[in-house]
Amino acid sequence: MTTLLRVDASLRQEGSVSRALADSAEAAWKAEHPDGVVIRRDLGQHPLPATAWPALVAVKLGAEPGPDHAEAAALAAEISAEVRKADAVLLAVPLYNYGIAQHVKTWIDLLFTDPEMAYGPSPVAGRPAILTLARGGGYSPGAPKHGWDYATPYLERIFGDSLGMKVRVAAAELTLAPVTPGMEQLIDASKVSETEAHATAEQHGAQVARELIANVA
């Protein structure tokens, strides 16, 4: 039996494309591995306190522990333990203002207070990570805002290059076209992108489950 850690970051529940893509990946994972366990952390609905990381860093820099230090340390340890224990990570992240939301950055910052996560050897190296991403506009090559997506390369750097995980990405673009005046001509393209992203998410979920089962067998 293996464990999938699912982390959601969208502030929305209904209508969230990143959550829907993660649902597709999780459903495919469960279909291949019905006995697998899913652990959930919803950063969008239950944000981490933005003061936690500064409280920990201040003590590292020589400050006296404040009243919130023990709580911050316990939270950081909990986050690290969740990632360490997971056989695979499923991270659903929307693009907010061309980057990741503050609550996602807080989660990553707290994770990296674990010295092995920050400096190695990575305790999760070689494990799979699936990123299901939603981008309201178009950022692909040839689009006017190509290169404005700062979330995807950052997440790939963190989970792939720094933590050494095997990163798979399923991304939908133009997700705001159906609800944004002036983007009506892009609605069809947005539907194609979302459909393809769901198919990719399903493929990633199924493949990760098969790989995990093979490693356990």
Instruction: Report which of 90, 91, 89, 94 is spatially closest to residue 16, judged by C-alpha positions.
Output: 94
Element spanning 40, H or E: strand 37-42
Contact 10, 18 (CB under 8 A): yes
Instruction: Report which of 116, 92, 109 is spatially closest to residue 10, judged by C-alpha positions.
Output: 92
Q: Is the pLDDT of residue 217 over 90?
A: no
Contact 78, 7 (CB under 8 A): no
Q: How big is the chain by its Cα radius of gyration, in Å?
A: 18
Residue 83 is classified by DSSP as H
Beta 166-172 vs 88-94: how paired, if at all?
Answer: unpaired
The Cα 27–Cα 166 span in angstroms is 20
Q: Quote the pLDDT of residue 50.
A: 92
Q: Write down the domain spans for the chain.
A: 3-44+81-102+120-216
Q: Quote the pLDDT of residue 56.
A: 93
Residues 102, 108, 110, 114: what is their CA dihedral angle, to the nearest 10 degrees? Answer: -170
Half-sphere exposure of 178 (CA within 13 A, CB side): 13
Q: How confident is the model at residue 179 (pLDDT cuts 50, 70, 90)?
A: very high
Beta 88-94 vs 37-42: how paired, if at all?
Answer: unpaired
Coil/strand/helix, residue 129: strand
Coil/strand/helix, residue 170: strand
Calculate the average pLDDT of the chain. 95
Q: What is the CATH number of domain 3-44+81-102+120-216?
A: 3.40.50.360
Strand order in the sheet with 128-134: 37-42, 3-8, 88-94, 128-134, 166-172
Q: How far is CA 19 from the centre of its chain?
A: 10
Question: Which of 11-20, 63-72, 121-130, 149-158 comes out lowest in average pLDDT?
Answer: 63-72
Model confidence over 203-212: pLDDT tens digits? 999 999 999 9
Q: What pairs with residue 132 in β-bridges?
A: 92, 170
